[in-house]
A and B are shown apart, each in its own frame.
Chain A
Amino acid sequence: MGLRLRVVVMLVVLVVPVTVAFSSWRVGAERRVRQERAAERAAERALARPRVLQRCLQDPEAFAINRRNLRARAVIDAGDAARLSGPNPPALDPALWARFATSGEGIAHQWSWRGDRAGASIVRVGDGDGPCAVFWVGWPDTSPRLAAATRRSILLEALALLLLLVATGAIIAAPLVRRIRRLTEVVVADPLHAISDHDAAARELRTGDEIGALARALEARTTQVKETIAELQARDQTLKEYISNTTHDLAIPLTVLQHRLMGLKDATSRGEAADVEVIERALEESHYIAALIANMSAAAKLDAGRAHTTRHPVNLGELVERVAARHQPIAAQKDVEINWAAPDDLIVLGDSTLIEQAVSNLVQNAIQYHGGGGHVAIVADHADGGRFELRVLDDGPGVDEATLPRLTERGVRADASRTRNPGGQGFGLSIALRVFDAHAWRFDMTSPPGEGLTNIITGPAQPPGSLAGQAAT
């Protein structure tokens, strides 16, 4: 049901019956008053005339007036056994008689809507108790006509009222309906389009009433939806890129691994002893694949933004121990010695997965760039001012002065370096840089000639002992 129709129907349903009822009551009341007056007049004029009185007195028992607009009888034997005169007297209603007797006004009326729609009055014309002092007057039975007329007038009134209300309702509702329709059109046409872009509807945003409030709420909702969609699309994009990069970048080392294993199989099925070096290469390849997967996962996490990184207490000592253990097999293979040291009460706030991956990448790079034989050390310490210092150092070839600053350049996404040397200096380092950045930690690389490479990470630490029961990696 449309708004206009609803308004109109409600108006009609509320107003018309009330008005009709009120009118009927009023008409009824007026009618009674009229009839009372008519009876009084009848009494004064018709009955008080001497000729009428004389006729009555001559033969009270036979007195009767039966005119069209007046019926009258004399009341015989005023008192308990009162009755009316004349042939075929109508019944004298005891209630009316009682009312007359007690009213003391000399006139009493009775009326009824039912039956023949007639009424009667009892009126005292003369003094005393004799016959012809009190008369019964019957009102003319014009009720049907009057009733019909009354009904007609009330109906007309109701009709007029109805039309008026319909017009009023339509007029009041029209502008409201128009505004709502316009708003609806704008929203339906393009759910993501801002209302403020449509001139006509934009005005609505500044209106003070409820429709204006609705418009503003719709606008806010639209903005929210757009932002959510944009976020979801970005996430979707990140995921797609991650999947496509992973499949692509993994394909290469996996192929290499397969080849090496095939080579091994061929050699051993020919009866040749397995070449340990080939096996070691294969092991390195799979180690590299594991590192690659971990780095891609870290990259996806970083790309997805703050929402996906957590901050919790991280025990740096345990973290360093894990990273050292992880690289131990490959280091041993390459004859590189990994050493580490950390206090057991060094806690920092951050994302343990990302931090571990970052440190692991630095260690991997340190091992990678050794010609074979050499040392890598991971050292974590408390530093002044409630800070921590984490160093990853090696005695490898180091990096020359010119290249060093480029490596730590901010904002190097290293997309290109990913395909060329994933897991190597480029990608692994860029992940590490992004992780330290995300934690707002300081990162430096130094490589004095002949002294290998030293990575230094510093940042705030938790006060020792503050998280005694919560230390976790």
Chain B
Amino acid sequence: MSDEAEVNGPHILLVEDDEALGGEVRRALLAQGYEVTWKRTGAQAEAIDPAHYQLIILDLMLPGTHGFDLLKQYRQISDVPVIILTARKDTFDKVRGFELGGDDYMTKPFWPEELIARVSARLRRPVIQREAGRTIGPILIDAASRRVEVDGEEIDLTRVEFDILAVLAERVGMAMSRRQLVDRVLDADREGTERTLDVHVSRIRKKVGDEAAAHVETVWGVGYRLVEEPKRKG
């Protein structure tokens, strides 16, 4: 009997024969708001249609069926992301898994949070955002026309300042290192270094105002990131 939960959210297929582990994973996924279908045997897993799911979590060691065979079967008709679970750390297995079309690999033991993080990573929108307009909180960044607005008001930014915001906006929520930003945005010969970058960012923060500036986070040891939900200070 398969377990289906009536929850909105991406539908995930879990193929795992171990009752305890399967139960834990399902619980963790449901708590994140995902819909979960849990198949416990190779035969059940063979019968599903991968097109119904946004992501598949697949245990390699199923009794009687090898996970790789299931993976091959799914890949024949679908490109749905697959995260492979196994207790074996053999790199050879990993490479084989990727060759067969697996997208990610988790070795047991793992924390439930780890799995959730991988699942979110696989399900999130494609990393590079090249949409015409990107809204982060009160900030609107239009890459095509090179305009930035805060609460509807246009902000006057220099070329470099705009580029910095645009690059950060490509990966909202993910940090970029100072070096990466410098490589992408500054002309190293003339405009300089990571120090210069910090100066530019502080100018950006002044120009967009305190409320918007909270969305431009300094990331310790790394660089900067744009966030949807600024952290409460204090």
Contact = CB atoms under 8 A, between A and B. Distances in A.
Given A375-B221, A382-B183, A328 B117 contact: yes
Contacts of A341: 174-177, 180, 219, 222-223
Contact of A352 (B91, B110, B179): B91
Nearest to B217: A339
B221 A312 contact: no
Interface in A338-389: 339-344, 351-354, 375-377, 379-382
B64 interface: no
Contacts of A312: 91, 95
B221 A379 contact: yes
Contacts of A325: 113-114, 117-118
Contact of A353 (B89, B121, B127, B177): B89
Q: Which of B110, B114, B118 has the most CB of A within 10 A?
A: B114
Contacts of B95: 310, 312, 472
B104 interface: yes
A322 B117 CA distance: 8
Contacts of A391: 221
Contacts of B176: 341
A473 B118 contact: no
B179 A340 contact: no
A339 B113 contact: no
Contacts of A377: 219-222
Contacts of B179: 379, 381-382
B105 interface: yes
B222 A351 contact: no
Contact of B177 (A326, A381, A395): A381
B150 to A, nearest CB: 25
Contacts of A337: 220
Contacts of A328: 111, 113-114, 117
Given A312-B91, A325-B113, A473-B105, A375 B220 contact: yes
Interface residues of B, number: 31
B17 to A, nearest CB: 21
Contacts of B105: 473
Interface in B147-186: 174-177, 179-180, 183
A393 interface: yes
Interface in B179-231: 179-180, 183, 219-223
Interface in B88-135: 89-92, 94-95, 98, 104-105, 109-111, 113-114, 117-118, 121, 127-128
A293 B98 CA distance: 24
Nearest to B115: A325
Contact of B220 (A287, A309, A395): A395
A318 B102 CA distance: 14
Nearest to A323: B114
Interface in A277-312: 287, 290, 293-294, 297, 309-310, 312
Given A294-B89, A310-B91, A339 B220 contact: yes
A339 B104 contact: no
Q: Which of B95, B221, B223 has the most CB of A within 10 A?
A: B221
A340 B111 contact: no
A344 B180 contact: no
A377 B225 CA distance: 14
Contact of B94 (A375, A381, A473): A473
A329 interface: yes
Contacts of B111: 287, 326, 328-329
A227 interface: no
A326 B155 CA distance: 40
A321 interface: yes
Contact of B118 (A322, A344, A380, A393): A322
A337 B175 CA distance: 13
Given A310-B92, A329-B111, A344-B127, 12 more contacts: A297-B89, A312-B91, A321-B121, A322-B118, A326-B111, A341-B174, A341-B219, A353-B91, A379-B222, A393-B221, A395-B221, A472-B98
10 contacts: A293-B109, A328-B113, A339-B175, A341-B176, A341-B219, A375-B220, A377-B219, A379-B177, A381-B180, A473-B98
Top 5 nearest A-B pairs (CB, nearest first) are: A377-B221, A325-B117, A472-B98, A375-B220, A341-B175
